[in-house]
Amino acid sequence: MGEAYATLMSRMKEIETVSQIQGLLGWDQEVMMPPKAAPLRAEQMAWLSRTSHSMMVESTMGEVLDAAEAEGAGDEIAAGNLRLIRDAYDKATKKPVDFVERFARHKSKSIVSWTEAREKDDFSIFRDDLAEMIELNRELAGYLGYEDNPYDALLDIYESGLCVSQVDPLFAGLREALVPLIAAVGDCEAPDMSWVTSNNWPEAAQAQLSHEISSAIGFDFDAGRRDKSTHPFCGGSNPDDVRWTTRYDEAEPFGSLYGSLHETGHGLYEQGRPRHLDFQPAGHADGLGVHESQSRLWENQVGRSLAFSEWAIPHWSEYFPSNMNGVTGEMLWRSVNLVAPSLIRVEADEATYNLHIMIRYEIEKQLINGDLDVDDLPDAWDDMYEKFLGIRSPNRKQGVLQDVHWSMGAFGYFPTYTLGNLYSAQLLVAARADLENDETLEEMWARGEFEPLLQWMRDKVHARGSILSPAELVEEATGQAPTPQPFIDYLRAKIESLYGVAA
Amino acid sequence: MGEAYATLMSRMKEIETVSQIQGLLGWDQEVMMPPKAAPLRAEQMAWLSRTSHSMMVESTMGEVLDAAEAEGAGDEIAAGNLRLIRDAYDKATKKPVDFVERFARHKSKSIVSWTEAREKDDFSIFRDDLAEMIELNRELAGYLGYEDNPYDALLDIYESGLCVSQVDPLFAGLREALVPLIAAVGDCEAPDMSWVTSNNWPEAAQAQLSHEISSAIGFDFDAGRRDKSTHPFCGGSNPDDVRWTTRYDEAEPFGSLYGSLHETGHGLYEQGRPRHLDFQPAGHADGLGVHESQSRLWENQVGRSLAFSEWAIPHWSEYFPSNMNGVTGEMLWRSVNLVAPSLIRVEADEATYNLHIMIRYEIEKQLINGDLDVDDLPDAWDDMYEKFLGIRSPNRKQGVLQDVHWSMGAFGYFPTYTLGNLYSAQLLVAARADLENDETLEEMWARGEFEPLLQWMRDKVHARGSILSPAELVEEATGQAPTPQPFIDYLRAKIESLYGVAA
C-alpha cells in the first residue's frame, strides 16, 4: 500500500480507539453508572464524539483519502477499508453543521413529546414533532444523496448499500407466505403453559442458567461479561471485551434465557472478528442486518429447536429442580414457540415478528416519499395490522405510538431486523450443506455440539469482517443473493411440526 | 478575569474531561474488565495519556499561561487555579521526552526484577535496577528543581509544597513519642480474639454490613458505587461518580469493614468537592496527605473508637447473628485496636504504622542524597526496624523487599500516609472545639450521628478544594500549622484506655 493509505490507516486507528472508549462508557452508563453521574457522563461522551468527529472531518482528511484512493487498493482488505472510510467521511461531511444541531435539538424535543403522547394515549401531542422529524429526514436524505428513492439514503445509514429495490422484493415474497401461515395457526390450540405460569423462577438461577448456556454455545467469558440492565444489549469495547446484558422476570424464565441467547449471538460475532484487522474499518462486523442474523440464529433457529430444547432440559433441571419436574424437551420446545398475533413488536413471536417490521417499512417509505400524510398515519397503522395480522389496536399507545425510534429520528432502521432473520435462515441452509455429512445439525445440537456451526459462521461470516458489503457477504457465504425463501421454508416446516398445519 | 484566563480554563476543562474518562477506565480495569481485554485497554489508556499530555504541553500553552498570570488573579480561586496549572505545566514540560521514556522503560524492567527478587528472597536480583532507579530519581529532581534538598522535588510530586524542612520536625516529634509508647504496650496482654477466629464470616454479609455502615456515615450511593477488587481503592470519575472497592476474607471481617471505612473516607472527600469549581484544578482534592486524613479519620479515629463500636454492634448482629452472640461493643473495640509491632507495613496497626513510614522516609532521604549506599540498604532497613519497633526481619522478603513503590520509581510518596494521620488528628481536635458544646463527638457517634463531623469536614476541608496548599488548608481549618501533637495526644489517650499504660 502507498503512503497516503498508511497515513489514513493510522488516523483510523485513533478514531477506532476513541470508539472503543465510547463503547466502554456506553456500557457503563447502562449497567454500572450511579444515577447522579448522568450529566457529567454526558459531557464525557460529548467530548469523545466531538474529538472523533474532528479527527474524521479534519481539514487534510479529504486529500489523504483522495490520495489513498488514487494509489489504488492492492487487495480486497484495502478495497474494503477505502470503501468504508469514504462512506464514513461522506456521511460525516455532507451534513451541514447547522443541520446536525437542528436535528439533535429536535430529537431531544421529540422524545419528550412522544413520551407524553404515549403516556396520555394521544397522538396529537406527538403529531407536529413527528411531521417535522419526517421533514428533517427528507432533508437528511437530500444531503446524503440517493439515486431512486430518498428512503434509500436512510436505509443506507444502517446497512451499507441497502435500498428499496432490494428490500421490496425480499419483503413482498415474505409477506405473501407469512400472512396465510399465521392465519392458519390462529385456529389451532395453544400449547400448555401451566408449568411455566404456576411456578416462580428465581433470578439467581436464571442468571446461572443463562451463563452456562451462553458458555456452552461458545461465548468466551475471559473476553467478555454478562450483566443485568433495563434494556438488554450487546456492547463493550472490542473483540477481547464484549459485554452483553439481560434482564430477569421471576414470573417467566424465557425472556432472560432467549434474550441471553440473542445477545450471545451478537457477542459471538464480535468475538469472532478478524484480529489481523484490529483498528481497521474492514475488521468490524458487517452492519446491523448481518449482526441480527447472528443473534437470531442462536436465539431462534438453534435455541428454539426441539433438539436444543432436549439438550437444555438437564441444564434447566439443574437450576430449577422442582419447577422442571416432569417437563420434557418437547413441552419446553412448544412453550418457547407459541405463535400468536399480537400488537406489540418487541413481544412478538418468531413468525409474526416480521409482519410488524414490514408494516413499519411500508409506512416509513410512504411517509418519507410523501405518499402518506402524518394525519392519516394512526389509522393507516391500524388498518395494516388488521390486514396483515388480523388484529386492531384499541388505542394509539399499543398502535402507532409503541416504538421510540421515530422520535429519535431513526427512519430506515427497522428493516435490518427482518433482514437479519432472512440472512440467518439462508446462512443456516448453506451451513447444513457443508456440515451435514453423517448427521444433521439437530443431532449435533441434541448432544450440545454447537462448535461445528459456530466454526462455520466464524469462517464464512465473522472472519470476513466488513471487507464485503452485507449483500455480497451473504452471497459469498451462501452462493446466492439474499432471498426470503430459506426463511419461509424454515417457518413453514416449524409451524407444521408445531401445529400440524401447512399453508 | 481576563481573556487569557478564560482560554486557559476552557483548555483545563478538556484536560479534566480526559482525566475523568481515565478515572473510569482505570476503575473498570481493576473491577470489571475481562482478563483478555488488558492489551487493548492499555492502548486506550495510552491514547488518553498522550492526548491529555499534548493538550498540556501544546505549543501555545506556555504563552496563554504567562498571559493569564500577567492578568493577575482577581480572587483566591483564580490564584489557586493559576498556581496549580503552573505547577502541572512545569512538571509536564521540565522533563525531557527522552527522560520520560527512559524512566517508563526502567519502571517496567524494575517491577519484573523486584517481583523476582521478592519471590526468591534475594535482594541482589533487584540491586542494580534499584540503584539505577535512585539515579533516575536524582535526575528527575534535577529537572523539577529544588532549593535545599533534591528529595524536596520528589516530595512535592505527591503533596504540593512538601519539603524535608517541613517533614523532619513533624516526624521527629512523632517518633520520639511513639517509640516508648509502643515499647510499653509490648508488655501488656493482647485482647481476646477468639470470638473472631473461631467463626466464619460469609462474604455476602460482610458486603451488606460495609454498605450499610458506609451509607450511615454519609456516603451517597446515588453518586457512587461499592465493588470488590484485589487491591482496595477509591476511584471513579468525578464527585457524582465515586467508586470505591474492598476485598473479603471469610476468616476475619475487619479487613473488609475497616478497608471500607477507609475508602468511604476518601469517597466522602471526593463527593464533597466544591461543585461550582467543577472542571477547575482548584476544585480538586488537596493532595494525597489531606486525602489520607479523610480516610484515616473515618477508619481510625471514628471507626476504631469505643463509641463507634458500641453503635455498630446491632449492625454486626443483624448480619452475623450467631457469631455476635455475647460480643459487646467493648470486645469489638479491643479487637479492632490490637497494637503489636510487626514487619509488614500494610498489616500494621494505627500506632505502629507511622514508624514503618518514618523508616522509609529516612531511608529514601538518605538514598536520594547519597548518604546511604544501595549495598548497605538491606541491613540499614533491618537495623531501623530493630531500633524503632524492636523487631528484625528474618529475611529480605519481609524486610526491604516488601513494598512495590521503589520498583515503580515512586520516591517521596510514603510520607503522605503519615501526614494524613497527623492532619486527621489535628482536624478532629479543631472540629471538637467547634462542635462539642453540649456533648462530645463520641456521644453523637454512639447514637449514629456522624453528620455534624462530616459537615464540619465538608465546610472546612472538602469545600475548599485545592484553593490553598495542603499546609495552608490545615492551618486555615485548625488555626495552626501542621503539628504532630494532636496525633500523639490521641494515640497516648487511646493506648492508655486500651492497655492502661502511659508513656
B241 and A24 in contact by Cβ < 8 A?
Answer: no
Distance of CA B281 to the CA centre of its chain: 19
Chain A residue with minimum CA distance to B43: A17
Write out pLDDT tens, residues A147-170: 989 999 999 999 988 999 999 999
Listed in sequence order, the DSSP H helices in B369-403 are 377-389
Instruction: Give the model's pLDDT for residue A190.
Output: 84
Chain A residue with minimum CA distance to B32: A225
Question: Any bridge partners for residue A241, and if so which?
Answer: A238
For the beta sheet containing A241-246, the strands, ordered from the edge strand earlier in sequence to the opposite edge, are A224-228, A241-246, A234-238
Q: Which of A30, A203, A212, A263 is catalytic?
A: A263
Question: Any bridge partners for residue A244, and if so which?
Answer: A226, A234
Helix H or strand E encompassing B246 = strand B241-246
Write out pLDDT tens, residues A390-437: 999 999 999 999 999 999 999 999 999 999 999 999 999 999 999 999
A225 and B24 in contact by Cβ < 8 A?
Answer: no
Side-chain-facing half-sphere of A64: CA atoms under 13 Å: 19
Chain A residue with minimum CA distance to B19: A44
Q: Where is average pLDDT lowest: A80-84, A182-186, A204-208, B168-172?
A: A182-186
Spatial separation of the C-alpha atoms in residues B289 and A49, rounded to whole Å:
36
Helix axes A415-435, A287-296, angle to 10 degrees: 60
A237 and B40 in contact by Cβ < 8 A?
Answer: yes
Per the annotation, the verdict on B263 as an active-site residue is yes
What percent of chain A stands above pLDDT 90? Answer: 90
Asked if A391 contacts A399 with a C-beta cutoff of 8 angstroms, the reply is no
Write out pLDDT tens, residues A68-92: 999 998 899 999 999 999 999 999 9
Find, among B478, B487, B489, the residue nearest to B430 by Cα.
B478
Q: Over range A111-131, report the average pLDDT.
A: 95
**DSSP letters for B89-108:** HHHHHHS-HHHHHHHHHHHH
Burial A20-59 (b: 16+ CB within 10 A, else e): bbbbbbbbbbbbbbbebbeebbebbbebbeebbeeebeee
3-state per-residue secondary structure call for A88-134: HHHHHHHCCHHHHHHHHHHHHHHHHHHHHHHHHCCCHHHHHHHHHHH
* Torsion (CA) B342, B347, B352, B355 in degrees, nearest 10: 90
Whether B33 has its CB under 8 Å from any CB of chain A: the answer is yes
ipTM for this model:
0.92
Look at the block and give the residue holding cell 509544597. Answer: B161
Helix H or strand E encompassing A246 = strand A241-246
B20 and A40 in contact by Cβ < 8 A?
Answer: yes
State yes or no: pLDDT of A123 exceeds 90: yes
What percent of chain A stands above pLDDT 70? Answer: 100
Write out pLDDT tens, residues A373-384: 999 999 999 999
- CB-closest option in A33, A241, A278 to B37: A241
Spatial separation of the C-alpha atoms in residues B499 and A50, rounded to whole Å:
62
A278 and B40 in contact by Cβ < 8 A?
Answer: yes
Question: Any bridge partners for residue B243, and if so which?
Answer: B225, B235
Is residue B241 classed as helix, strand or coil in its secondary structure? strand
Whether A35 has its CB under 8 Å from any CB of chain B: the answer is yes
Beta strand extents in A308-352 (DSSP E only) = none
Is residue B30 classed as helix, strand or coil in its secondary structure? helix
Per-residue pLDDT band at A502 (split at 50, 70, 90)? low
Whether B438 has its CB under 8 Å from any CB of chain A: the answer is no
Helix axes B287-296, B415-435, angle to 10 degrees: 60
Q: What are phi and psi of B234, to 5 degrees?
A: -120, 120
Instruction: Give the model's pLDDT for residue B231.
Output: 86
Per-residue pLDDT band at A230 (split at 50, 70, 90)? confident
State yes or no: pLDDT of A288 exceeds 70: yes
Nearest-CA distance A312 → chain B (Å)? 27
CA distances from B308 to B118, B331, B351, B449 (A): 39, 12, 19, 10
Listed in sequence order, the DSSP H helices in B186-302 are 194-197, 203-217, 254-271, 287-296
What structural domains does chain B harbor? 3-149 (1.20.58)
Write out pLDDT tens, residues A338-367: 988 999 998 899 999 999 999 999 999 999
Spatial separation of the C-alpha atoms in residues B249 and B200, rounded to whole Å:
9
> Which grid coordinates belong to B244?
470505591
Q: Which of B16, B159, B263, B364 is catalytic?
A: B263
Spatial separation of the C-alpha atoms in residues B214 and A401, rounded to whole Å:
44
> Which grid coordinates belong to B499?
492497655
From chain B, pick out residues whose CB is under 8 angstroms from the CB of A34: 221-225, 240-241
Find, among A39, A23, A353, A306, the residue nearest to A175 by Cα.
A353
Instruction: Give the model's pLDDT for residue B503.
Output: 59
Is residue A229 classed as helix, strand or coil in its secondary structure? coil
Asked if B236 contacts B228 with a C-beta cutoff of 8 angstroms, the reply is no
Between β-strands A241-246 and A224-228, what pairing exists: parallel, antiparallel or unpaired?
parallel
- CB-closest option in B24, B40, B238 to A25: B24
Among A residues 42-71, those touching chain B with beta carbons less than 8 Å apart = 43-44, 47-48, 51
Q: Over range A215-226, report the average pLDDT.
A: 98
Instruction: Give the model's pLDDT for residue A356.
Output: 96
> Which grid coordinates belong to A404?
421510540
Question: Any bridge partners for residue A238, and if so which?
Answer: A241
- CB-closest option in A36, A51, A240 to B223: A36
Helix H or strand E encompassing B166 = helix B164-185
Is residue A231 classed as helix, strand or coil in its secondary structure? coil
Q: What's the average pLDDT block by block, 10 residues per block, for chain B (503 residues)? A: 94 97 95 95 93 93 97 95 96 91 90 94 97 97 94 94 93 92 84 94 98 98 96 95 96 96 98 98 96 97 98 98 96 94 90 95 96 97 94 95 93 96 98 97 98 98 97 97 95 92 67
Spatial separation of the C-alpha atoms in residues B371 and B364, rounded to whole Å:
10
A44 and B20 in contact by Cβ < 8 A?
Answer: yes
Count of Cβ atoms closer than 10 Å to residue B349 Cβ: 17
Instruction: Give the model's pLDDT for residue A503.
Output: 59
